[in-house]
Structure 1
Amino acid sequence: MVDHGPRSGNRVALTFDADMTDGMLRNLRAGRVTSYANLRIIELLEREQVPATFFLTGKWVERYPDLTRRLADNPRFELANHTYGHLAYTGDCYDLPRVPAKGMTEDAAKTFEVIKPYGGRQTRYFRFPGLCHDAAALAALAPLGVTVVDGDVVSGDPFATAWEPLVRAVLDNVRPGSVVIMHVTEANARMTDEAMPHILAGLRERGLVPASLSEVLAGA
Structure 2
Amino acid sequence: MVRHGPRDTEKVALTFDADMTDAMKARLSNGTVSSYANLRLLALLETRRIPATFFVTGQWAEQYPDVTRRIAGNPRFEIANHSYEHAAFTGDCYNLPRLAPGEMTGDVDKTFTTLHPYGGRQTRYFRFPGLCHDRAALRALAPLGVTVVDGDVVSGDPFARGAGPVIDAVLSQVKPGSIVIMHITEANARYTDDALPAILAGLRRRGLEPVTLSELLA
TM over 0.5: yes
Find the counterpart in structure 2 of residue 152 from structure 1.
152
Aligned-residue RMSD, C-alpha = 0.5
Q: Which residue of 2 aligns with 1:200?
A: 200
1:181 Cα deviation after fit: 0.1
Contact 1:80–1:123 under 8 Å retained in 2: yes
Contact 1:88–1:130, Cα closer than 8 Å, also in 2: yes
Q: Does 1:116 align with 2:108?
A: no
- Aligned pairs for 1:134-213 (under 5 A) are 134-213=134-213
d(CA) in 2 for partners of 1:159, 1:117: 33
> Could you tell me how far 1:160 is from its partner in structure 2?
1.2
Cα distance in 2, alignment partners of residues 28 and 102 from structure 1 = 29
Q: What residue number does 2:55 align with?
A: 55
SS across alignment from 1:197? helix
How many pairs does the alignment contain?
A: 218
Give the aligned residue type for 1:154.
V
Paired with 1:207 and 1:47, the residues of 2 have a C-alpha distance of 20
TM superposition shift of 1:159: 2.9
Output the CA distance in 1 between the equivalents of 2:160 and 2:5.
27
**Equivalent in the alignment of 1:29:** 29
**Distance in 2, Cα, partners of 1:151 & 1:116:** 24
Amino acid at match of 1:21: T
* Counterpart Cα distance in 2 of 1:28 and 1:135: 34
Among the aligned pairs, what percent are the same residue?
A: 69
Per the normalisation by structure 2, the TM-score is 0.99
Shift of 1:217: 1.2
Gaps of at least 5 residues in structure 1 are none
Cα distance in 1 for residues equivalent to 2:130 and 2:9:
29
Tell me if the contact between 1:159 and 1:190 (Cα under 8 Å) persists in the aligned partners.
no
Residue of structure 1 in register with 2:14 after alignment: 14
- Residue 9 of structure 1, CA deviation: 1.7
4+ runs of 1 displaced by more than 3 Å?
none
TM superposition shift of 1:213: 0.2
